[in-house]
A and B are shown apart, each in its own frame.
Chain A
Amino acid sequence: MATKTEELSVVGKNWTRLDGANKASGRSIFADDVRLPGMLYGKVVRSPYPYARIVSIDASAAEALPGVKAVILPEDAKGIWIGINQPLLAQDKATYVGHDIAAVAALDEETAARAASLIKIEYEKLPEVTSIKQALADDTPLLHAKAKGNVAWEQEFSWGDPDASFAACDQIREEEFVTYPSHNCYAEFHVAIADFTQAGKLTMWTPTQSALMFQKGLAAAFKLPDSDVRMLTLNTGGGFSGRVSPRPHHFLAALLSRKSGRPVRIRASGDEEFIMCRAGGKVIYRLKSGTTKEGRLKVIEADLLFDTGAYIESQMIVTILTSSYLNALYKIDSSRYRGRLIHTNHLPYYFHHGGGIAQFQFALGQHIDGLARDIGMDPVEFSLLNAVEKDYTTLHDSYYASCGLKECIEKTAEKAGWKDKYGKLPKYKGIGLGIGAMASGAKGVFKHDTSAAFIKITDDGLASLSIGLPDMGQSSHTAMAIIAGEVLGITPDDIRVVSGDTDSDPLDVGAFTQRGTFNTGNAVKNACQDARDQLAKVAAAKLGVDAEQLVFRNHQIYPDGEPDKAIEFKQLAFDTLHSQEGRFVMGRGFYNSPLEKGTMAYSFGAQIAEVSVDPGTGVVTVEKVTAAHDVGRALNPRIVEGQIDGQVFSAMSQVLYEECVMEDGQVMNPSRLDYKMPRAFEMPEVEHIIVETIDPNGPFGAKEVGEGPIVCTMQAIANAVTDAIGKPIKDMPLTPWRVLRHIND
């Protein structure tokens, strides 16, 4: 049921985040701030070689060092599996630089580091495979016997009849794009504190996007019931698609704790941060599409090659996700997708910020822009002509109950002055369009995509809302309090959001696939409706009316149209408990999409970037980004703007600067001094246009805004650079040397 804006009293206003004062005054606790009595400090020994046989390991000097309390060697980790078929520690061969081989725990970080350096490992170097091309060559040895041709996994989809569609096209464009490895670069470095000192009970403090995924991963590895792994999520210092599931250091901290009988903390130092975990790896995108001369886009074909590293970590999910985005934006007749994961001697790659979808859109957005140019059409016109709309069903069977894509394109084009600028700017100035779609949740990781919530109403008229959704900065806890406040007619600051302990939190799949606002939001709405029904029953009896007639608004409950009969919320909560019945109000609710898989709602967006390029240095300056986003409904508008800003930053950072520069399997720039991100002075002005399409299934019409913006920015900036220099650059980041090379070619 859609609700008119004027009927809402809490949703849509600017609310300060509930945890803001603590975060701004140093009172917020993060995992690295936790110090447990007797806690030890762990350090991991990792392979310096991309591919080597482990001949021998001598840990005697480390074990003899005073202050060392536990040493873990490959045989101690036998039978512990992480990711897909990856032993926790390298058993016979190290298959990538950074492959974990041993770990130590000691009284302090210095002693642990010293002990790690005393573990002598003799290696026999093997010839490494460090590129997709090399891995696929006929004479390259296999990294895993089962992965024929070093293809770890392959998946193909086809919708409609692509060959027939291509045959009916007047213009076909075919080209290749490349993106490189990146790092999620959260402010808070990787850290895990494990307490495995009680047999069969593991407690862990770590930043996470999904306590459930961590709990399940750790429980499976240590053969425990899920509930005997207690995840304590404090504040999470940024997620950016990089903290969805446990990584080797989480398992190692647990193992060291079990062996030493003391809690253990493992925390990454500056260069370790880049060696132990990275985001996505190199991806090659071969794209082909066709249109009629009138600009009817008919077919898109994509063939993607992913460097998945020595094992498969998350890249299967990335291929599944990217495939669905072929069909998400344009009304096409058919499409074809192939994704292949290729093994190399790189670390098992994870998710880029943007989940691989933003990076795919970098390629697809430029490709479609190019196709429009091929037939002499303005990209804005071309996009509008082919854009999906409300009530459209995609080729992969996603129904759009709401869709503001056209409105986003029109509004951003108008605000940015597209018509006056496109094709009319002086040389080395450019303007570019980027459009995107993003699912609110993606059922498929589990059979369900459930979030649950509890709310208790105390006799002082306040409430505690329990959820299992982590807040890693996106202000989701405040958003949930806004939804709760709207249902109950109270304000977000009346509500304590309680979360971060799997012993007590209701189930939540977590804060990934942009499912929080939609799924947990609906769960919270359902729980609060349950509590409201309980209160309404008491109020209805007092007022002598039907419970259905009651309005909950501005801390009052009254029959619709009769605010003079209002009971104060606080009084009602008090009277409900303090009566002979002694009712205590607790609402419960959950939400799970009724679909078999996929998503109930997509957000849409369009951004226009304006850039200037210095032809002497190749430096790209982003001058302005105009961003229009259909978020269904903005629950907290200023926070929505903040989400857009942060994603413009991250996308600009990835498209212009960020790259883990790889050479012979090594990261050449493993520090935040050498791995560049934009500084304050490099940021453009960002103009926000929030488009509200009030999704019929979203809580108060809301859809995600967690990754919708990032999928638009990379292509917008890349298209603007193409417009500025007159040539497309098909690999990112668009660093000065790449831009110069193209200018001077």
Chain B
Amino acid sequence: MSKQIITLTVNGHPHEIAIETHHTLLDVLRNELGMTGTKRGCTAGSCGVCTVNGDAGEAICSCLSLAIEWDGRSVTTIEGVQEGSELHPIQAAFLEYGAVQCGFCTPGLIMTTKSLLDFNTSPSEEEINETLAGAICRCTGHIKVKKAVRKAAEMLREREAG
């Protein structure tokens, strides 16, 4: 197995990394870059814990995506969501509404939510449900999470309105 060199931009910063071709985006973020904010869950695309956002802001299960496919591309991870030292409205809403409990699935849930609200700050109930369908949160039972997503949408709408 010979290593391949890729250039991966994470949260706006380019990284030149030597990777094994069978390593996933999750492996590279956590093991090569030491960015452990993105958590490792089922590694089979069923729990949503490892979700990051791709080039187009879409939700990606980083456990299912080979790192080699990300050469020259960019991802946003949970470490890139805060605005300086301030929480992003999605993070603030998750805290205020008690949508964070054990916190293991929280990074994935926030990246999942971001993949919706970055493009649509007035999502319907159905759109929220559909977005969250790829995630499992046993602690909150999704109930406070849905409330937090609606609140975050409201905060983002207010921000848009200036």
Contacts and interface: CB of A to CB of B under 8 A. Distances in A.
A677 interface: yes
Residue in A23, A235, A269 whose Cβ sees the most chain B Cβ within 10 Å = A23
A680 B146 contact: yes
A237 B78 CA distance: 17
Interface stretch (A14-22, A92-100, A151-159, A611-619): A14-22
A648 B137 CA distance: 12
Contacts of B98: 17, 638-639, 641-642
Contacts of A291: none
B112 to A, nearest CB: 10
Nearest to A473: B102
Interface stretch (B53-61, B66-74, B126-134, B153-161): B126-134
A257 interface: no
A23 B82 CA distance: 12
A27 interface: yes
B134 to A, nearest CB: 8
Contacts of A679: 129, 132-133, 135-136, 142
A25 B101 contact: no
A162 B31 CA distance: 63
A30 interface: yes
A680 B128 contact: yes
Residue among B81, B133, B140 with the highest chain A CB neighbour number at 10 A: B140
B90 to A, nearest CB: 8
A648 B46 CA distance: 21
A653 B137 CA distance: 12
A201 to B, nearest CB: 26
A275 interface: no
Interface in A598-622: none
B135 to A, nearest CB: 7
A382 interface: no
Interface string A175-216: 000000000011111000000000000000000000000000
Contact of B129 (A273, A653, A681): A681
Contact of B104 (A188, A475, A646): A188
A25 B37 contact: yes
B95 A21 contact: yes
Would you call the interface of chain B mostly helix, strand, loop, or mixed?
Answer: loop
A641 B107 CA distance: 22
A26 B100 contact: no
Contact of B36 (A25, A33, A686): A33
B102 A16 contact: no
A649 interface: yes
Contact of B101 (A27, A29, A642, A672): A642
A238 B95 contact: no
Determine the main DSSP class of A at the interface with B: loop
A474 interface: yes
B100 A17 contact: yes
A645 interface: yes
B139 interface: yes
Given A672-B46, A672-B136, A680-B128, A24 B102 contact: no
Nearest to B134: A679
Interface string A393-423: 0000000000000000000000000000000
B91 A21 contact: yes
Interface in A29-50: 29-30, 32-33, 35
B95 A16 contact: yes
B77 interface: yes
B133 A236 contact: no
B24 interface: no
A472 B95 CA distance: 16
Contacts of A91: none
Contact of A26 (B78, B137, B142): B78
A26 B79 contact: yes
B36 A648 contact: no
A517 interface: no
B118 interface: no
A227 interface: no
B138 A649 contact: yes
Contacts, number: 177
A671 interface: yes
B16 interface: no
Contacts of A673: 44-46
A24 B136 CA distance: 16
A23 to B, nearest CB: 3
A649 B104 contact: no
B132 A680 contact: yes
A650 interface: yes
Contacts of A384: none
A169 interface: no
A569 interface: no
Nearest to B110: A24
A28 interface: yes
Given A26-B107, A188-B102, A671-B46, A649 B143 contact: yes
B64 interface: no
A236 B104 CA distance: 8
A240 interface: yes
Contacts of B78: 25-26
A645 B140 contact: yes
Contacts of A29: 36
A240 B44 contact: no
B136 A270 contact: no
A683 interface: yes
Interface string A628-647: 00000000001101100111
Contacts of B97: 638
Contacts of B139: 187, 238, 473, 642, 646
A513 B102 CA distance: 18
Contacts of B102: 186-188, 235-238, 472-473
Contacts of A186: 102, 104, 138
B75 interface: no
B105 A187 contact: yes
Nearest to A32: B40
Contacts of A189: 40-42
Contact of A240 (B47, B135, B138, B146): B138
Contacts of B44: 270, 671-673
A321 to B, nearest CB: 22
Contacts of A475: 101
Given A187-B102, A235-B103, A270-B44, 8 more contacts: A25-B78, A26-B36, A30-B104, A472-B102, A671-B46, A672-B47, A678-B142, A680-B133
11 contacts: A24-B87, A24-B107, A25-B82, A26-B36, A26-B78, A32-B36, A237-B104, A645-B141, A646-B139, A649-B142, A673-B44
Interface of A: 16-17, 19-30, 32-33, 35, 185-189, 235-238, 240, 269-270, 273, 472-475, 638-639, 641-642, 645-650, 652-653, 671-673, 677-681, 683, 686
Closest 9 CB pairs of A and B: A26-B37, A649-B141, A473-B102, A23-B103, A237-B104, A473-B101, A26-B78, A681-B129, A680-B132
